A and B are shown apart, each in its own frame.
Chain A
Amino acid sequence: MSAAAGAGAGAPGSPLPTLLVVPTGIGCAVGGYAGDALPAARLLAAASGCLITHPNVMNGASLYWSDPRIHYVEGSSLDRFAAGELALRPVRRQRIGLLLDAGIEEELRWRHIQVADGCRATLGLEIGPVVITDEPLDVQLSLGASGVSWGELGRPEALLRAGRQLQAAGATAIAVVARFPDDPDSAALAAYRQGSGVDALAGAEAVISHLLSLELGLPCAHAPALGPLALDVQLDPRAAGEELGHTFLACVLVGLSRAPDLISTAASGSRGLACQPADLAIDAVGAIVAPAGALGGAAVLACAERRIPLIAVENPCLLSVTAAALDLEVIHAASYSEAAGLLLALREGISPLALQRPLASLRHGMNRSLPRP
């Protein structure tokens, strides 16, 4: 039995733990901007009763939504969860250490500390201590051959030193803020703000949080530190969440505040935490939802290996890595609204095939013909 499913897990109508993946930095029409997959996540959480998803889905800079049915799990940890290497243990709260890049200018650093103070005072989050890296992290942005957003970190060891310092000081989760290069006049940024192209920052953000989470075994998430932008009256609503304040940190702190603990399923976990029967493990997951053109990620492929139902949602993006291209069996959904209906069907024990027309007869799958009466 899993913590998320509770008593009666597996019974019709009981929560159906579901993974929602919207890969970052690939320009998804839904989820490629400032937390603009959050309405879809809320809907899928209501339909499934238990949703496991990652910061790119939930982070809207100054905007966020907290839902006890949604588990906020950093991308590489989510991949390892799908692979059966980690289980998730819900907690009442995390103690969030704040890791700031030494490359952040003093005024911008104060803005971030004040956001953290605001989250303590207004939302009651437990935040601290604050550690500044011993040298600038040197974040670089890049695009891959496919046009997908990637990035590198010049000084990964500095990130890890600061992370270990926070862990030793008692932090149970880490919010990291790195100084990202400003490029206010770039065509890519203009396109992003007007609702096209990819989030150029996303790839480097993912690399930072993946590295920290992988090495420390703690829930982690990242917010970029950037200088303010000039007003753009053509701003796309999907990008508007990032233009409301001085930082992108509030959503990260809220997400991490109730992020589940990461429990190694190996005999002795890296943090000495042993897996318990109440932890949520991949065995309890009843479905995964991903964009139909982005099925080539680690979590989707791991779930496919386990024959977990895969709902492929039409959500245009840069990639065309489809079920047909990878020979994967999927349930197609034209929208996240349809995906929510399919999750509800799975949750109630209704075969999604029974909802489709035409409905092929079983005689087509028989290993031999029967005589007609």
Chain B
Amino acid sequence: MRLVPLLLQLERRPGPLRPQILAALAAHGRPLRWAITAATADITSEAPPDSVAVTRLQIEAVVLA
């Protein structure tokens, strides 16, 4: 058993946030402690003017691997 620190960037999809984060963490191990530590709305300069911003989430975590 190892405790592995993680830093993930996640693009938010529609629907509840927690299952999205747990699914992303599960790819690395069993989540032990995690939190969203930043959330930013992101529109690229190439996007059309009426584009909806994408929320990018920064997740910091420790998982059991």
Which residues does A use to contact B, with CB under 8 Å? 23, 75-76, 83, 142, 144-146, 148, 150, 152-153, 156-157, 160, 203, 206-207, 210-211, 214, 294, 296-298, 301-302, 304-305, 319-322, 325-327
Known: A76-B33, A157-B1. A146 touches B58 (CB 8 A): yes
B36 at the interface (CB under 8 A from A): yes
Known: A144-B7, A145-B58, A157-B1. A301 touches B17 (CB 8 A): yes
Contact partner, A207, options B3, B7, B40, B41, Cβ 8 Å: B3
A sample of 9 inter-chain contacts (CB < 8 A) reads A144-B37, A150-B5, A150-B60, A156-B1, A296-B36, A296-B39, A304-B16, A320-B38, A321-B35
Complexed CA–CA distance, A152 and B57 (Å): 23
* B18:A146 contact, CB within 8 angstroms: no
- B15 (CB) vs chain A CBs: closest residue: A305
**Min CB gap A24→B, angstroms:** 10
* A207:B62 contact, CB within 8 angstroms: yes
Known: A211-B32, A211-B64, A301-B18. A146 touches B3 (CB 8 A): no
Complexed CA–CA distance, A218 and B55 (Å): 37
**Min CB gap B6→A, angstroms:** 10
- Add 15 more A-B contacts to A203-B33, A296-B39 (CB < 8 A): A76-B33, A144-B60, A145-B60, A148-B35, A150-B5, A152-B5, A156-B3, A156-B64, A207-B32, A207-B62, A211-B32, A294-B35, A298-B18, A298-B35, A301-B16
Which residues does B use to contact A, with CB under 8 Å? 1-3, 5, 7, 16-18, 21, 32-41, 55, 57-58, 60, 62, 64
Known: A146-B60, A305-B16. A325 touches B39 (CB 8 A): yes
* B37:A146 contact, CB within 8 angstroms: yes
Complexed CA–CA distance, A76 and B44 (Å): 37
Complexed CA–CA distance, A145 and B6 (Å): 10
Known: A153-B3, A211-B3. A305 touches B18 (CB 8 A): yes
Known: A144-B7, A145-B7, A156-B3. A298 touches B39 (CB 8 A): no
Known: A150-B60, A302-B18. A210 touches B32 (CB 8 A): yes
* B37:A152 contact, CB within 8 angstroms: no
Known: A76-B33, A296-B39, A319-B37. A150 touches B1 (CB 8 A): no
Residues of B within 8 A of A150 (CB): 5, 60, 62
Complexed CA–CA distance, A298 and B21 (Å): 9
Complexed CA–CA distance, A207 and B3 (Å): 9
* A148:B37 contact, CB within 8 angstroms: yes
- B57 (CB) vs chain A CBs: closest residue: A296
- A146 (CB) vs chain B CBs: closest residue: B37
Residues of B within 8 A of A156 (CB): 1-3, 64
Complexed CA–CA distance, A142 and B33 (Å): 14
**Among A145, A157, A296, A322, residue most surrounded by chain B Cβ atoms (within 10 Å):** A296
Complexed CA–CA distance, A326 and B62 (Å): 22
Residues of A within 8 A of B37 (CB): 144-146, 148, 296, 319, 321
Complexed CA–CA distance, A272 and B3 (Å): 28
Complexed CA–CA distance, A321 and B36 (Å): 7
Residues of A within 8 A of B57 (CB): 296
Contact partner, B33, options A145, A160, A210, Cβ 8 Å: A210
Residues of A within 8 A of B21 (CB): 301
Residues of B within 8 A of A146 (CB): 37-38, 58, 60
Complexed CA–CA distance, A266 and B39 (Å): 33
Complexed CA–CA distance, A326 and B35 (Å): 13
Known: A211-B32, A301-B17, A301-B18. A319 touches B38 (CB 8 A): yes
